[in-house]
Chain A
Amino acid sequence: MSTQKPILQMKQIHKRFPGVKALSNVNLRLFPGEVHALMGENGAGKSTLIKVLTGVYSIDEGSVEMEEAPISVQSPLESQAAGISTVYQEVNLCPNLTVAENIFIGREPRKFGRILWKEMNKRAQEILSERLNLQIDVTEPLYMYSVAVQQLVAIARALNISAKVLILDEPTSSLDKNEVQQLFRIMEKLKQDGLAILFVTHFLDQMYEISDRVTILRNGEFVGEYMAKDLPRLDLVLKMIGKELNLLEELPSLAEEYKDSLGEELVKADGLGRKGAIEPFDLSIHKGEVVGLAGLLGSGRTEAARLFFGADKPDSGKLIFSGRSEGVHTPREAIGRRIAFCSENRKTEGIIGDLTVRENIILALQAKQGVFRTISRKQQEEYADEYIRMLNINPPSPDHLIKNLSGGNQQKVLLARWLLTSPQLFILDEPTRGIDIGAKAEIQKLVLSLSRQGMSFLFISSELEEVLRVSGRIAILRDRHKVKEISGKDMSQHQIMQAIAGG
């Protein structure tokens, strides 16, 4: 394999943004018939490198060669023409068009300028069933299907172009286990076909399962290129983080301590439910407790959390605060009761993209205080500086627009926004999704230390290890039902898996 020539080669790529050095001296080689993983922490430059490669950004210095001939890609369209297909992290499709239209948009089969709808639907069906093993009605609008299916449609769209290089930017972050396996089977198949696949991921297991070669970036710098099988896990983590780190190991002991000492009951859901979202359930949360919600994608985790925050209205049951029954009808009311909610949809329900980090941080507190009790500019800056330091937000400047930050740092800004309102109950819905190990550990640690100071958490995550690590008690959901609640010594991956599987 080593004698093989790379199909695509990026040499000594440099990229600067005003005030930020995004990439310096980065190399990347992609070989046909290989899955090449691109790894690094948040802000390491993975997204920037991909955007440079696909012509979204220009290159300051360095060269890109395709089959040994230098190419210069100046727009996503040109990169497609050059044989580079990309599936971005956030699915960029049109939810109100049909599946077939999404796959063929811009290059519909035509005859005399007329679109051949039947032909298009037939070919879409073929692509999906033959190459992706997906049997769905392609004439339904895309929004009818789950995120996982949408992801596959996005891949189908990329495949349809005669691609030599396929870039998958965190394709697995919103998929469950089976769907990931399905995706990997597809990737194996594409590999056999001689495609070079660039696979960006945060999951170490997945990286080792599927990748042949791995390139590691750190802070915009090239760390190295390795064969995956020759790189031990620990080395990989060390190279990504660049320092000794055993955060993840020391955490469980922290979780043990407080499990026995429960505070008074803070809030209790009594038969709370909403048709089509989550069947009525009971759940009480005590002061200083971390309650985990485990379950598969679509099991009703997020839906349950939204009822606590008043983001959706329940059609049965009620919330009881310190023994008194009082509903929460809007997020505003929930915030008034000192509940905070960090949504899993960071982009649509979290950040205000065109505002600065500072404005995003103070937003919830300001909303709570109302229009006229304005937080002074000086105070705003103090808050922003305090949380930027406390949560290690990078770049450490309060005046950057939040949409220019990496995902993990956006998440930290949102945490800061809610912490500033000093909540009693903090609902975290997938707070570590799409975030690197370092930031993940930081967030987990933060949850534990805040809970010891008396803050309660409702913690939702697809990663069982994570739920186990931080939670004192875990409620398990299956098919929109709360099926089990476990705590203390009963808590184990095995227990949870059994409950989820319905054993």
Chain B
Amino acid sequence: MGKLYKHHLFWPLCILAALLLFNLFYSPDFFSITMHDGHLYGSLIDILNFGAPLILVAIGMTLVVATKGIDLSVGSIVAISGALACLTISKGTDQNALGLIVISILLAVGLSVLLGAWNGLLVSVAGIQPIIATLILMVAGRGIAQLVTGGQIITVSSSKYSYIGSGALATLPFSIFVVVLMLIVALLLTRKTSLGLFIESVGCNPTASLMAGIRANWVILSVYVFCGVCAGIAGLILSSNVSSADGNNAGLWYELDAILAVVIGGTSLNGGRFYLTGTVIGALIIQTLTTTIYMIGVPPEITLVVKSFVVLAVCLIQSDSFRAAIFYRWKTRHYPGEKESIRHVS
């Protein structure tokens, strides 16, 4: 029991379960799933489908955060990638041509790689603090997206393109498969190669990592590139889902939700150990929360306030010192050093 309680997924899973439990009582049809034209429909499916871009972005963000970095530009990359893909398709004569779709996807992902590399170079080679380095692209990126779309909302009418974001494979939304694929890629990259070890090592102690012969700059560059790619694919899913690209609003505030998902998932902003599965659960918590708020009919003008209160509660529940202060005040006293060491030993 003690082991279970200390597992890094314990609190995230509890919170997710609590949210679902709330829905079970408040709106029982939350769990109903119906079959329609070979698609499954229902709130749970919606959460997975609409949550897909966030999960993707958060997976990329996890690796960046593990190197003690942060990427504020993901929201802008989402917008740029979607804009470029839609622009390419809208310029084509036959918008349903498979070749065109593939080219547009490759272009969008390729640009995301470049944008990620830009961030990575600023952080690793130029040595700019990550929050500042990525702030540049966060601001400029919106402008680039505007430039690509020409200030308009580009709409496309391509059934093949919209398959990415709203098509179904084996009755489930196709976007889920994209997310699972990227999650597997990330897990393989970090757990089957030694990239994960190097990321944690660099995030924990960059100087010592360098002295041990790790190419810290390459590690940092690669996580920002990976994060850029994740954001780019998320941009494809988002724009394909609505068959249009909006340079202004696509992926707005995604960076903040993604960072939140990473932190809820148990990865520390101080770098070091990271938990990809935790991040996925964190993103699901955020998406479930958003869906729940819409479902129970919170007036739109205060949804953000409600959301922030729930997020505050989530963060407090996860905080060791807060829990100690509330629940065990009379039992355990405040020994910061010891708590630290016990947490790591177990």
Q: Is B194 touching A366 in the complex (CB atoms < 8 A)?
A: yes
Q: Is A332 touching B215 in the complex (CB atoms < 8 A)?
A: yes
Q: Is A17 touching B345 in the complex (CB atoms < 8 A)?
A: yes
B residues near A17, Cβ cutoff 8 Å: 341-342, 345
User: Which listed segment binds A: B71-79, B101-109, B199-207, B248-256?
Assistant: B199-207
Q: Is A343 an interface residue (CB 8 A)?
A: yes
Question: When A349-B207, A417-B212 are in contact, do A354 and B341 touch as well, CB less than 8 Å?
Answer: no
User: Which listed segment binds A: B138-146, B159-167, B329-337?
Assistant: B329-337
Q: Is A403 touching B344 in the complex (CB atoms < 8 A)?
A: yes
B residues near A55, Cβ cutoff 8 Å: 335
In the bound assembly, the distance between CA atoms of A58 and B342 in angstroms comes to 12
Q: Can you sample 24 A-B contacts with CB below 8 Å? A: A17-B342, A55-B335, A57-B338, A74-B335, A75-B334, A75-B336, A332-B213, A332-B214, A348-B208, A351-B208, A352-B201, A352-B208, A354-B200, A354-B273, A359-B197, A359-B201, A366-B197, A367-B212, A368-B213, A369-B194, A371-B194, A372-B194, A374-B193, A417-B212
Q: A56-B337, A371-B193 are in contact. List 19 more A-B contacts (CB 8 A).
A: A57-B338, A58-B333, A75-B334, A332-B213, A348-B207, A352-B201, A352-B204, A352-B208, A354-B344, A355-B201, A359-B200, A359-B201, A363-B201, A363-B212, A367-B209, A367-B214, A371-B194, A400-B345, A404-B341
9 shortest A-B CB distances, which residue pairs? A367-B213, A56-B337, A335-B213, A354-B272, A367-B214, A364-B212, A57-B338, A354-B204, A332-B213
**Nearest-CB residue, chain B, relative to A418:** B212
Q: Is A355 touching B204 in the complex (CB atoms < 8 A)?
A: yes
B residues near A341, Cβ cutoff 8 Å: 211
Q: Which of B198, B204, B211, B334 is within 8 Å of A331, CB to CB?
A: B211
Q: Is B211 touching A371 in the complex (CB atoms < 8 A)?
A: no
For A17, A332, A359, the residue with the greatest tally of chain B CB atoms inside 10 Å of its CB is A332
| A423-467 at interface with B (beta carbon < 8 Å) | none
A residues near B338, Cβ cutoff 8 Å: 51, 56-58
Q: Is A343 touching B204 in the complex (CB atoms < 8 A)?
A: no
Which positions in A face B, CB cutoff 8 Å?
17-19, 51, 55-58, 74-75, 309, 311, 331-332, 335, 341, 343, 348-355, 359, 363-364, 366-372, 374-375, 400-401, 403-404, 417
CB distance from B153 to the nearest CB of A (A): 42
**Nearest-CB residue, chain A, relative to B189:** A371
In the bound assembly, the distance between CA atoms of A260 and B238 in angstroms comes to 75
B residues near A75, Cβ cutoff 8 Å: 334-336
Q: Which of A56, A331, A368 is within 8 Å of B336, CB to CB?
A: A56
**Nearest-CB residue, chain A, relative to B2:** A18
In the bound assembly, the distance between CA atoms of A51 and B215 in angstroms comes to 37
B residues near A364, Cβ cutoff 8 Å: 212-213
Q: Is B273 touching A331 in the complex (CB atoms < 8 A)?
A: no
A residues near B195, Cβ cutoff 8 Å: 371
| B245-276 at interface with A (beta carbon < 8 Å) | 272-273
CB distance from B267 to the nearest CB of A (A): 12
CB distance from B15 to the nearest CB of A (A): 25
| B198-239 at interface with A (beta carbon < 8 Å) | 198, 200-201, 204-205, 207-215
Interface of B is mostly: helix
B residues near A56, Cβ cutoff 8 Å: 335-338
Q: Is B36 an interface residue (CB 8 A)?
A: no
In the bound assembly, the distance between CA atoms of A403 and B341 in angstroms comes to 9
In the bound assembly, the distance between CA atoms of A489 and B211 in angstroms comes to 36
In the bound assembly, the distance between CA atoms of A55 and B337 in angstroms comes to 9
B residues near A18, Cβ cutoff 8 Å: 342, 345-346
Q: Is B192 an interface residue (CB 8 A)?
A: yes
A residues near B192, Cβ cutoff 8 Å: 374
**Nearest-CB residue, chain A, relative to B270:** A354
Q: Which of B205, B215, B334 is within 8 Å of A348, CB to CB?
A: B205
Q: Is B334 touching A352 in the complex (CB atoms < 8 A)?
A: no
B residues near A403, Cβ cutoff 8 Å: 344
In the bound assembly, the distance between CA atoms of A56 and B342 in angstroms comes to 13
In the bound assembly, the distance between CA atoms of A367 and B197 in angstroms comes to 10
B residues near A371, Cβ cutoff 8 Å: 193-195, 198
In the bound assembly, the distance between CA atoms of A371 and B207 in angstroms comes to 19
A residues near B207, Cβ cutoff 8 Å: 348-349
In the bound assembly, the distance between CA atoms of A359 and B272 in angstroms comes to 13
Q: Mark B172-202, 1 if CB is under 8 A from A, else 0.
A: 0000000000000000000011110110110
**Nearest-CB residue, chain B, relative to A18:** B345
| B306-346 at interface with A (beta carbon < 8 Å) | 333-338, 341-342, 344-346
CB distance from B283 to the nearest CB of A (A): 24
Q: Is B335 touching A58 in the complex (CB atoms < 8 A)?
A: yes
**Nearest-CB residue, chain B, relative to A363:** B212
A residues near B198, Cβ cutoff 8 Å: 366-367, 371
Q: Is A353 touching B204 in the complex (CB atoms < 8 A)?
A: yes
A residues near B335, Cβ cutoff 8 Å: 55-58, 74-75
CB distance from B270 to the nearest CB of A (A): 9
In the bound assembly, the distance between CA atoms of A366 and B195 in angstroms comes to 10
B residues near A343, Cβ cutoff 8 Å: 211
A residues near B344, Cβ cutoff 8 Å: 354, 401, 403-404
CB distance from A361 to the nearest CB of B (A): 11
CB distance from A289 to the nearest CB of B (A): 24
B residues near A331, Cβ cutoff 8 Å: 210-213
Q: Is B201 touching A404 in the complex (CB atoms < 8 A)?
A: no
CB distance from A187 to the nearest CB of B (A): 26
A residues near B213, Cβ cutoff 8 Å: 331-332, 335, 364, 367-368
B residues near A368, Cβ cutoff 8 Å: 213
In the bound assembly, the distance between CA atoms of A401 and B340 in angstroms comes to 12
In the bound assembly, the distance between CA atoms of A58 and B333 in angstroms comes to 8
Q: Is A353 touching B205 in the complex (CB atoms < 8 A)?
A: yes
B residues near A351, Cβ cutoff 8 Å: 205, 208
In the bound assembly, the distance between CA atoms of A332 and B192 in angstroms comes to 23
In the bound assembly, the distance between CA atoms of A311 and B209 in angstroms comes to 12
CB distance from B315 to the nearest CB of A (A): 22
Question: When A355-B200, A371-B195, A374-B194 are in contact, do A350 and B341 touch as well, CB less than 8 Å?
Answer: no
In the bound assembly, the distance between CA atoms of A104 and B214 in angstroms comes to 40
In the bound assembly, the distance between CA atoms of A417 and B197 in angstroms comes to 15
Q: Is A19 touching B209 in the complex (CB atoms < 8 A)?
A: no
In the bound assembly, the distance between CA atoms of A412 and B196 in angstroms comes to 24
Q: Is B214 touching A363 in the complex (CB atoms < 8 A)?
A: yes
**Nearest-CB residue, chain A, relative to B345:** A18
B residues near A375, Cβ cutoff 8 Å: 194
